[in-house]
Amino acid sequence: MKNASNRTSIFDNGDYSLYAEISPSISPKDGVALTITSRWQSASKPEEEQVRFKACLERGGLENLANLIQMELGK
């Protein structure tokens, strides 16, 4: 697994934004950490992000999530 993170915006209405990031995880071995964060532009500290969800996954769990997303996109 690479040591770099992959990050993307998954929602942005100009004020509220959601981001998804996948990064290497020590546990489980060869796993990844899936993190969902949010940010409000109108907040007192708009540069700060809040963690909304975090899970450490094995490759199989990440593949299951990818398959679920693909099924939804195929509708």
Q: Give the DSSP H/E element, type plus range, for residue 72.
A: helix 59-73
Check residue 1 and give its pLDDT: 44
DSSP state of 12: E
Sign, CA torsion 5/32/8/14: negative
pLDDT band per the 50, 70, 90 thresholds, residue 30:
confident
Whether the predicted pLDDT of 5 surpasses 90: no
DSSP state of 47: T
Q: What residue has token string 């040591």?
A: 3
Q: What residue has token string 């020590």?
A: 26
pTM: 0.85
Whether the predicted pLDDT of 49 surpasses 80: yes
Whether the predicted pLDDT of 6 surpasses 80: yes
All structural domains of the chain: 6-73 (3.10.450)
Whether the predicted pLDDT of 2 surpasses 60: no
Instruction: Say what percent of the chain tops pLDDT 90.
Output: 85
